[in-house]
A and B are shown apart, each in its own frame.
Chain A
Amino acid sequence: MAASVVTWAGLAAFGRACGSIRSRLLGSSSTLSQVSCLHTSTELNSKHWERKNLVVYPPQQKDELRRPAEIYHCRRQIKYSKDKMWYLAKLIRGMTIDQALTQLEFNDKKGAKIIKEVILEAQDMAVRNHNVEYKSNLYIAESFSGKGKYLKRIRYHGRGMFGIMDKVHCHYFVKLVEGVPPKVEQKTGFDQAKEYVEQLRNRTIIHSL
């Protein structure tokens, strides 16, 4: 009884103290412009992928390597499944833009036509607005799909039962970079086996004689 009484009073006092500390923190943050401890959310309707196109880099010196242009583009609320879209996004990752366009043109999926439109739009944007010299000198650096906002409908079952059906939508994001695509080193089974054996051989027994 006594123990529980002490804890209750203590907890209440601690709660009140916490509140005062938090209010003091909030008071101090209102005067400062940036507070690292508080989570600041961005404004409504702020789409991050589109904003990546608005980054301005400082001018380069003459001896520096020419920075490759990066163009971000996306399409929102496509009437397609994100999982089905993923297969196409994975297909064109790392390809040059012309190769990707040919692959998508002869692919039978519904998402292929949409992705092709998105990539052509991005290419046009790159040449007009982002100072890209040759429109074929681009490759797909990043390409992925995300879940969009689903609409819900009723799916009627037997015996008066129903289910809620999701009308799926997805977003598709692509990043084009100027230049030649980086070569991905293909590792053979033999190389992997060799590495494994080396790892086994590099093991040591600590605190041994």
Chain B
Amino acid sequence: MATSICRTLKYLQPTICLNIKLPQPVFVPIRTKKRYFIPPAVNVKQKSQSEQETKARAAGVVVRQQYIERAINISCTAGIFDPYIPPEGDARLSTLSKEGLKQRTEQLRQSAASQLAFRKIKDHDNEFSTKEFPALAQQIFIDAHAALTQFNKEKLHSLVTERCYPEMVRGNRYKTLRWRFIESLEPPRVVHARCPDMISKGNLYGQVTLRVHSRQTLAIYDRFGRLMLGDEDEPRDVLEYLVLERHLVNPYGRWRLHGKIVPAWAPPKDPIIKTVIIPGPTLKPEEAFEDLHYQVPKPKAVQWYK
């Protein structure tokens, strides 16, 4: 009983007043708490830049220096140097015909610059061989596009250079892509190589162009799951010229997809499913559109790089 009373007294000390008065600290109430709100003054004179600077200096306020920097990425080049110009009718002639065979052999022997580039690449990269590289490169291509469909950023960055990445990814963030690589119709071949050096002389990058003839399916769905382009069940034969790049001087460099070359004679792409308005000519009040006989301008057939 006695112990319980002691314990309860310990809990109840602040409320129960005992005869023993301990010296308490004196609390003198001063009205220091802000109890009103004054809105900020509106008619403040706007200080000019020089006045603001003098005031800041007088107060001892230091504004940190602003660094206007622009980051440069040195792990890949900004474009395709000395691009390969695919010959006309490349896909039309089959390899088995005599003409096709002649064309093939000519192409590969022709360019001395390519042979030089191969030798330079072999100097830096011991495992490079013209026979084995195409299979590797095709696997990189398939993996990169698979990562694009899943949108696996880290894997995509390791398989694709920084120059190619925005081109692949732009506009696709809120879309669903379905891509399938069905089979390869012809074995991929190396057709072109160059070894440019950037900024300083020894900084070598190797760019190798690969010719890939394959069958693929592509379907792009927009944000709401509606089909925008392509068909998932319809495979198409695709002839592509892929450019892979590697930073040769870097021991951790890897062969990554750098871009695609679209030849000037390539057939036009399919239009998207929806109808689009093309801005037409501005009419004067007295003119009528039907009388103008306006021809929609067709783009020039120029080789361009994707």
Contact = CB atoms under 8 A, between A and B. Distances in A.
A164 to B, nearest CB: 6
A106 interface: no
B37 to A, nearest CB: 7
B18 interface: no
A9 B221 CA distance: 66
Contact of B221 (A54, A59, A133): A59
A58 B39 contact: no
B222 interface: yes
A70 B224 CA distance: 9
Contacts of A164: 37, 39
Given A8-B8, A59-B221, A131 B176 contact: no
Given A152-B37, A152-B39, A154-B39, A60 B11 contact: no
Contacts of A151: 39
A141 to B, nearest CB: 14
Nearest to A6: B8
Contacts of B199: none
Given A55-B223, A59-B176, A131 B228 contact: yes
A194 B42 CA distance: 61
Nearest to A132: B274
Given A8-B12, A59-B176, A59-B178, A133 B227 contact: no
B224 to A, nearest CB: 5
Contacts of A131: 222-224, 226, 228, 274
Contacts of B280: none
B275 interface: yes
Given A12-B11, A58-B176, A59-B176, A130 B39 contact: no
Interface in A117-167: 130-131, 133-134, 151-154, 164-165
Contacts of B275: 133-134
A8 B16 CA distance: 13
B174 A56 contact: yes
Interface string B7-41: 11001100000000000000000000000011100
Given A55-B223, A57-B224, A133-B275, A9 B176 contact: no
The B interface, classified by DSSP as helix, strand, loop or mixed, is loop
Interface in B218-257: 219, 221-228
A12 B11 CA distance: 9
Interface in B168-184: 174-176, 178
Interface string A42-55: 00000000000011
B11 A9 contact: yes
B11 A67 contact: no
Nearest to A70: B224
B11 A8 contact: yes
Contacts of B174: 54, 56
Contact of A57 (B37, B178, B223, B227): B223
Given A152-B37, A164-B37, A58 B42 contact: no
A67 B176 CA distance: 15
Nearest to B171: A129
Given A60-B226, A67-B224, A153 B42 contact: yes
A145 B178 CA distance: 40
Contact of A154 (B8, B38, B175, B226): B38
A59 B220 CA distance: 9
Contacts of B39: 151-154, 164-165
A179 B52 CA distance: 56
Contacts of A165: 39
Interface in B155-209: 174-176, 178
Contacts of A154: 38-39
Interface in A1-36: 5, 8-9, 12
A134 to B, nearest CB: 8
A57 B227 CA distance: 12
Contacts of A57: 223-225
Given A54-B174, A133-B275, A153-B42, A69 B11 contact: no
Interface string B90-120: 0000000000000000000000000000000
Contacts of B12: 5, 8
A82 B4 CA distance: 63
11 contacts: A12-B11, A54-B174, A57-B224, A58-B225, A59-B227, A66-B226, A67-B226, A69-B226, A133-B274, A154-B38, A164-B39
Given A59-B221, A60-B227, A153-B42, 6 more contacts: A5-B4, A8-B12, A57-B223, A57-B225, A58-B225, A60-B225
Interface of B: 4, 7-8, 11-12, 37-39, 42, 174-176, 178, 219, 221-228, 274-275
9 nearest A-B pairs in the assembled complex, by CB-CB distance: A131-B222, A59-B221, A133-B274, A60-B225, A152-B39, A57-B225, A67-B224, A5-B8, A59-B225
